[in-house]
Amino acid sequence: MSERLPHEKGFHVSWDQVHRDSRALAWRLDGRGPDNGEWKAIVAITRGGMAPAMIVARELDIRVIDTISVKSYSHQDQSEAKVLKAPDPEMIGDGRGVLVIDDLVDSGKTLELVRELYPNAHFATVYAKPKGEPQVDTFITGVSQDTWIFFPWDMALQYVEPYRGSD
């Protein structure tokens, strides 16, 4: 069992909530790129960053989008973060003018790794836990470290028993 567990609280995020929060992230980033306020491209950290990246790209009219694949968790257990697939080096350069987007920052290990590779990129997440906050330049909603965020792509609607059972 990892030292990260147990998470005392669960924060369940619906598709609608991710959509609203990702839009809010886009609006916060608008006009803040390094060259005349413009962002030249988005790099989504797969897989969780792809949904917010799509929404931000649509809001800010960014058409150049690539991915970096970083794997650091198996279910709720964390292991060493590894880059499994890197973005096009010609496009990303040292990261200037590029928005790197993820769904959340938790320990900050994933972003730390990507930051080392692209120190001049701007790092943005929708949600952030306190340990990871130093690694993120812009985020929308903070949650406590002992909260596990449940995303809609990991969930399904399920029957639950009524609070007061019948005889």
Ligand X SMILES: O=P(O)(O)OC[C@H]1O[C@H](OP(=O)(O)OP(=O)(O)O)[C@H](O)[C@@H]1O
Residue numbers in the known binding site for Mg(2+) are 103
Residue with smaller CB distance to Mg ion, 24 or 50? 50
Distance separating alpha carbons of residues 35 and 123, to the nearest angstrom: 16
Report the amino acid identity of residue 46. Answer: T
Distance separating alpha carbons of residues 141 and 115, to the nearest angstrom: 21
Q: End-to-end CA distance of the chain: give it in Å, rounded.
A: 40
Q: Applying CB under 6 A, does 21 fall inside the site for ligand HPA?
A: no
Inter-residue contact 100 to 121 (CB < 8 Å) = yes
Distance separating alpha carbons of residues 80 and 165, to the nearest angstrom: 45
Site for ligand X in 132-161 (CB under 6 A): 132
User: Among all residues, whose Cβ is closest to ligand X?
Assistant: 48
From 50-58, 85-93, 118-126, 144-152, give the range in contact with ligand HPA by CB under 6 A.
Answer: 144-152
6: helix, strand or coil: coil
Q: How far is the CB of 45 from Mg ion (least distance, A)?
A: 5
Residues 46, 54, 64, 73: which binds ligand HPA (CB under 6 A)?
Answer: 73
> Residue ranges for the binding site for 5-phospho-alpha-D-ribose 1-diphosphate?
47-48, 102-110
Q: How far is the CB of 46 from ligand X (least distance, A)?
A: 6
Q: How far is the CB of 93 from ligand X (least distance, A)?
A: 22
DSSP 71-121: EEEETTEEEEEEEEEPPPHHHHTT-TTEEEEEEEESSSHHHHHHHHH-TTS
> Residue ranges for the binding site?
47-48, 102-110, 148-149
Q: Is 94 a catalytic residue?
A: no
Q: Which two tokens stand for residue 41?
A: 């491209």
Q: Is 102 a catalytic residue?
A: yes
Q: Applying CB under 6 A, does 149 fall inside the site for ligand HPA?
A: yes
Binding site for ligand HPA (CB under 6 A): 73, 104, 106, 148-149, 151
Catalytic residue annotation: 102-103, 106
